[in-house]
Amino acid sequence: MVFSLSAAEPAKKPNILFIPIDDLNHWVGFLGRNNQTKTPNIDRLAKMGVAFTRAYCTAPSCNPSRASLMSGLRPSSTGCYENNQNWRPGIGEDKLLNTHLAKNGYVVYGAGKIYHGAGDRGGYFDDYYPGKGGAMKLHAEAKNDGVGGIKFAPLAGTDEEMPDHAVVSWCIEKMSQKHEKPWFIAAGLVKPHMPWNVPKKWFDLFPLEQIQLPPHMEGDLGDVPAAGVKIAKPTGDHADILKSGRWKEAVQAYLATIAFCDYEVGRLIDAWEKSPEKENTILCLWSDHGWSLGEKEHWRKFALWEEPTRTVFIWKAPGVTKAGGLCARPVDHASIYPTLCSLAGIPAPAHLEGADISVLLRDPAAAWQLPAVTTWMKGNHAVRTEDWRYIRYADGTEELYHDAADPLEYVNLAAKPEMAAKKAELAKFIPTKDAPDLPRGKGGEAEDGGGAPGKKKGKAKKKAK
């Protein structure tokens, strides 16, 4: 069934539990990319509904990804391409998902990191909890705080002292309250965003002597054009990590931080399962982009290959999804806004640029012709189908990978004459215009801003306009 409103007897709109996760790549159990990871709760949710195995961000960076997802507009339309830009001039807060839901009868709650900045309460919220600040001490066994810009170390504190724990507790409290209207609760989890600092018990789950490095190939950037090498920055983070000899420690820390994140997701799922509204609540879990840990001599997000762009994407919609659904169709996060409108039976705004994926929620094997499209900085785009990835940079140089045969994207086929037709086929989905860059500085944050939720900015708005 599809949630809809009847003129004779209005149906109750579904509640929506919205779970954004920061910097979580595809190292979760059900995706099978890393057999060391421990994500029992995310995997549990995946088995309850429909999980996507080829889901991608619209931008491999927190600010443009979230601005795009929450507005339904692609970065090439808004001009918000990087973290240090103010997204508001390119979008307007009236277009945002939470504002639209409030206009259509929802009580709207937000906590933690939903938009980019710490405590950035974009659009309308009836109530918003930015989280608590503060930092815990490193554990006595910590060597230091990491290697250069890659920050990691175990903490001496407890789970209850972590900012994400307070965010989840606040959302659980909201979920348990009685509401006259359907609710939308966005529980924005910051971890596994750097610094990879979580209580030491999470590090202990991954003994250092057992850590395996991610798959990588020496000289992998040899067939990548200069524009791609510049983005990878192999002489930066990767060179520092190699020199330090601490690559395995960084992998251990990222796995530990993912495990902590999974624990907090489990708390949300447990609370939802106990809720009297369980049978009338949509769950939508997503990570804002992927992360590289040395693949292609690259660290962080900020690139157009598989690791920085692939996301975790799970839906459970009562009456729509069936347990155990696994969808291999390529989708991107521009789909979230229109799909929620469809499932909630409310009109979709005319400005939306993504596709409604309700058909895939009902039948994960349904026919699907659209690829996923990702943009990183102005003029650089990637198109991902089930079998292929095509990248075209602003200077016209290209990469082409046959992911069906080369899932680690080692061999760039773009220069082969016989690939001209395939490139032309995929290039049809490249955005035809690139909006001018939005201003930098005021209203934006630095490259890796958004670590721990900070103080609330501004007063709550009284009504949706």
Instruction: Give the DSSP letter of residue 235.
Output: I
Catalytic residue among 26, 57, 80, 116: 116
Instruction: Give the DSSP letter of residue 99.
Output: H
Would you call 107 helix, strand, or coil by DSSP? strand
> Could you tell me the two tokens for 250?
């960084």
Residue by residue, DSSP assigns 166-229 as HHHHHHHHHHHS--SS-EEEEEEB-TTSSSB--BHHHHHTS-GGG--PPP--TTGGGGS-HHHH
Catalytic residue among 26, 57, 62, 193: 62
Would you call 262 helix, strand, or coil by DSSP? helix
| Residue 116 appears among annotated catalytic residues | yes
> Could you tell me the two tokens for 307?
């690791």
Residue by residue, DSSP assigns 1-45 as ------SSSPPPPPEEEEEEESS--S-SGGGTS-TT---HHHHHH
Contact 408, 295 (CB under 8 A): yes
Q: What is the 3-state secondary structure (H, E, C) of 326-394?
A: EECCCEEHHHHHHHHHHHHCCCCCCCCCCCCCHHHHHCCCCCCCCCEEEECCCCCEEEECCCEEEEECC
Active site residues: 62, 116
